[in-house]
Structure 1
Amino acid sequence: METYADLIECEDVLLFANAAITSTGQREFHGTAGEQRLSLDFLHRYVQGNYPDLYAATLALDINDHNAALIIANLLAERAGDGRLIAWRLERMSPPRVYRFFRRLRRDGVNNRRTRAVVRDWLTGRPDLAFDAVKYRAQVKSAVRHAHLRLPGELGDFLFAPFSRARYETPVLEAWRRAHFDKSALYDLPYTVAEGFAARHGIGREIFLERIAPRLTRLERLRLAESASRGKVDTEADLAAMPLVRLASYILSLRADVRTSRRAELVGALRAAAARVAGARAGTWESVAAVLDDSFSSFGSPVKRRRPLAVALACHYLLEALAGDYRGLWLSRGTDPLQVRPYGPTPLGRRILDALEHRPGLLVIVSDGWDNAPPGLAGEVLRVWRRKLDPGGEVGIVHVNPVYDADRFDVRRLSPMVPTAGIRDAEDLPALVELARFAEGRTGLGELRAYLEDRAARR
């Protein structure tokens, strides 16, 4: 028998997981950045102080990099946590974020032996540290100093005395040295580094983009889409390989007429990306309906522009790939997912009724939870459905919310009758549907601990 304290612990951990998945400490539609950071800081302190083992285990969940970095920093400061799990989580982060994290450790004075070992092992494991030294020179230099490392040979010279050598044997280091006086050498450098040398040498933007094209990463190609079109840089082949939400964000940033003219390409890329994420699970979810929020609040904020809408669009295509029979319902009642835009009120209740009318096997609601047309209707619909019309739970219902509510220390919920999970990337949707069962009260702390331990063991 679980005690009341066990139930509280289970609820607290799930609450923290939702926050760690959705909140990045940035401004949201209904909350300022300061409110987000203050709320998130309290949750980290509360969970680490009361449930230190579970706090560390949440690194195994699909939390965002911002919160993963906060957890790792707190664990290193306390000399706690599983070193293998910390190393695994750092490997999943992008190199720029890890280098910023190392600089934060240095700023905060976290420099115990374990911290230095973590920095050393991560740097040692980099596939091409010389490339990093060129692209992130100041950050690599800071990390090496903080970990008290001595880099042998020309890499150490490059970081701390770059012009002490007349020539480097490592090609990327030699290209950096030559680029100071040889225009052709800059095209052997990473784009962000070459861009500065191009400006110094007075090279025209169109010529530079055309010649640097082979060195561009997928993200750089998308960010430079408008310039790339003028510079004859092809981006089409990269779209289907992008993460779903990032691809959706890119598509939503395009003008409506551009989306129309490129319809076949964009829809094909979304479906290919969704099929890649679905993998062997494609078509295995039988009957699925989704209520997708494209109300005005799905705009997000100036720093997270259209992020909630991008999550909804990505979930739409992923659910289409996962389900044998799928029906997507947008709040705007639009029928063309490619042309969705943040507009109008949030009539969740009415669209939930439309979805339940067909009694799907699973109903997924993707929304920030601000039901306002009329207020509270969604919660009442779900209450009546669960208690009166479907008490046996034949229709599974899950609400996934991409927006953290700082005032509630959680994502906003529609009804206590329906589990709610925070979501950031559509790729996490299958795992979140699995995790949501812990919020329904059908499983308890023992199962949650086992789930977290199993996730950690698989890392």
Structure 2
Amino acid sequence: MDTYTDLIECEDVLLFANAAITSTGQREFHSAAGEQRLSLDFLHRYIHGNYPDLYAATLALDINDHNAALIIATLLSHPGQGDGRLIARRLARMSPPRVYRLFRRLRHDGVNNRRTRALIRDWLAARPDLAFDAVKYRSALKSAVRHAHLRPAGELGAFLFEPFSRARYETPVLEAWRRAHYDKTALYDLPYTVAEGFAARHGIGRETFLDRIAPRLTRLERLRLTESADRAGVRTEADMAALPLVRVASYVLSRPADVRTRRRAELVGALRSAAARTAGSRAGTWGRVVAVLDDSFSSFGSPVKRRRPLAVALACHYLLEALAGSYRGLWLSRRTDPLQARPSGPTPLGRRIIDALEHRPDLLVIVSDGWDNAPPGLAGEVLRVWRRKLDPGGEVGIVHLNPVYDADEFDVRRLSAMVPTAGIRDVEDLPALVELAKFAEGRTGLGELRAYLADRAALLDDGQAAGQGTDER
């Protein structure tokens, strides 16, 4: 049986997991970037200082890359802490720019023990095309190589430290970079972010550049450049169905209402295809599901995370539709067309939760930042009465998923102590988060949480054979 200390430890780790999933240290609707960073830094110090083994084990959860990098940097600066294999597996899942930023931070902080050098060496050795990295992330790769005391042989070493010492490179991408300094045509054989600088240097017009570089664009670059390319008269369509579901939702929400109407079939098709891919074999297995989805004004997020909470809600809508046997989505604004969702109005969560419970679903999912204000506190009271008086047996499963970290509370904002709340950032993690939320209900304790983290680490180990995080080449 868990002791009171065990229960506190379990709650603290779950609180940290919610923060590590949702917060990226950036400005949110209700808190500034400085508040977010200060709050998150305190949590990292507190959990690492009190529960170093569980702190390290959270790398097995679906925390975001920002917090994974903070955890790895902390563990590497304390010799003997953390599982080196788990750290390596988490590094392999992160995007290359994030990993290179982490390596820069380790060099800046003077963390240069043998384990750190071995991790850098092994990560670089596993990169599918280090010459490509040398061109796209040249200064970052150069810094990592120096910090790990590595000696790249042949052309790669020459390119990093004396790039103009050779009259010609045999590696195509290195040779393209050399020639691009004087040959305009060579820059179209380079990654977009590198070619863009050469295009400006050679005075190449934007329309001409985008038209010729289009075949080299990654899926994410195509998506980001769609609007500017359209203005230049260049088409850069991306295969949206192959992108993460929240990215597709963010793109849809960035389009004007008339564009969404005109491209309805295409956009809805992309959302449903991405949702079906995410649901996989679980499609249609969740029974009757009702979702309460927050499209109030605070779902705008912030200028640096524009419409992110609303994008998570829209992505959850389509994923739950794919997972459920029967599904109904209830938006706070009472809109019936999710494709036209936009941030507006107050947050009447209590009333919409009543509407949702009238359908007696097997599972009620609430996706909201938790700022219930129309009237304040009604959602918590509705959930309390439902759990204690109307459904004490828990026939209707209820979970609250919150995409926004509350810096003042050191956690995501909760609606009620009667209902579990989990932070969410990427909806691909939704099934795992619904599972994780059971620990917040107090039905399981520290032993079960440790076993869950161990199982997640084993799953990470099994799934890492596919290789490293991608830069979407």
State the TM bucket, normalised to the shorter chain.
Answer: over 0.9
CA deviation digits over 1:36-90, x for unaligned, max 9? Answer: 1111111111111111111101000000000000000000000211111111111
**Pairing of 1:352-367 with structure 2 (within 5 A):** 352-367=353-368
- SS class of match (2:365): strand
Aligned match of 1:203: 204
Give the letter for the 1:340 counterpart: A
CA deviation digits over 1:181-240, x for unaligned, max 9? Answer: 111111110011111111111211111111111100011101110232355654445111
Normalising by structure 2, we get a TM-score of: 0.96
Aligned match of 2:21: 21
CA deviation digits over 1:295-325, x for unaligned, max 9? Answer: 0000011111110000000000000000010
Cα distance in 2 between the residues matched to 1:443 and 1:31:
33
**Pairing of 1:108-187 with structure 2 (within 5 A):** 108-187=109-188
Judged with a 3 Å threshold, the aligned counterparts in structure 2 of structure 1 residues 345 and 37 are, in CA distance, closer, same or farther, namely same
- SS class of match (2:127): coil
Aligned match of 1:440: 441
Aligned match of 1:407: 408
- SS class of match (1:24): coil
Question: Deviation of residue 113 (structure 1)?
Answer: 1.1
Tell me if 1:343 matches 2:367: no
* 4+ long deviations beyond 2 Å: 227-237
Aligned match of 1:62: 62
Tell me if 1:282 matches 2:286: no
**Pairing of 1:263-282 with structure 2 (within 5 A):** 263-282=264-283
- SS class of match (2:242): coil
Judged with a 3 Å threshold, the aligned counterparts in structure 2 of structure 1 residues 253 and 237 are, in CA distance, closer, same or farther, namely closer
Aligned match of 1:39: 39
- SS class of match (1:240): helix
Give the letter for the 2:452 counterpart: Y
Question: Deviation of residue 108 (structure 1)?
Answer: 1.1
Aligned match of 1:372: 373
Cα distance in 2 between the residues matched to 1:15 and 1:23:
12
Give the letter for the 2:54 counterpart: L
Aligned match of 1:99: 100
**Contact 2:226–2:237, Cα closer than 8 Å, also in 1:** no
Normalising by structure 1, we get a TM-score of: 0.99
Tell me if 1:90 matches 2:125: no
Question: Deviation of residue 458 (structure 1)?
Answer: 2.1
Question: Deviation of residue 148 (structure 1)?
Answer: 1.0
Give the letter for the 2:95 counterpart: S
Aligned match of 2:424: 423
Cα distance in 2 between the residues matched to 1:336 and 1:88:
41
Unpaired segments ≥5 residues, structure 1: none
Cα distance in 2 between the residues matched to 1:140 and 1:29:
36
Q: How many residues align?
A: 459
Aligned match of 1:4: 4
CA deviation digits over 1:332-369, x for unaligned, max 9? Answer: 00001011110000000000000000100000000000
Cα distance in 2 between the residues matched to 1:231 and 1:272:
29
Give the letter for the 2:73 counterpart: A
Unpaired segments ≥5 residues, structure 2: 461-473
Question: Deviation of residue 270 (structure 1)?
Answer: 0.2
CA deviation digits over 1:374-418, x for unaligned, max 9? Answer: 000000000000000000000000000000011111000000000
**Contact 2:17–2:58, Cα closer than 8 Å, also in 1:** yes
Cα distance in 2 between the residues matched to 1:25 and 1:174:
39
Cα distance in 1 between the residues matched to 2:256 and 2:102:
36
**Pairing of 1:185-264 with structure 2 (within 5 A):** 185-230=186-231, 233-264=234-265
Q: Percent identical across equivalent pairs? A: 86
Give the letter for the 1:312 counterpart: A
Cα distance in 2 between the residues matched to 1:420 and 1:347:
18
CA deviation digits over 1:2-39, x for unaligned, max 9? Answer: 11001101101100100000011111111111111111
Aligned match of 2:466: none
Aligned match of 1:74: 74
- SS class of match (1:400): strand
RMSD: 0.9
Cα distance in 2 between the residues matched to 1:426 and 1:259:
22
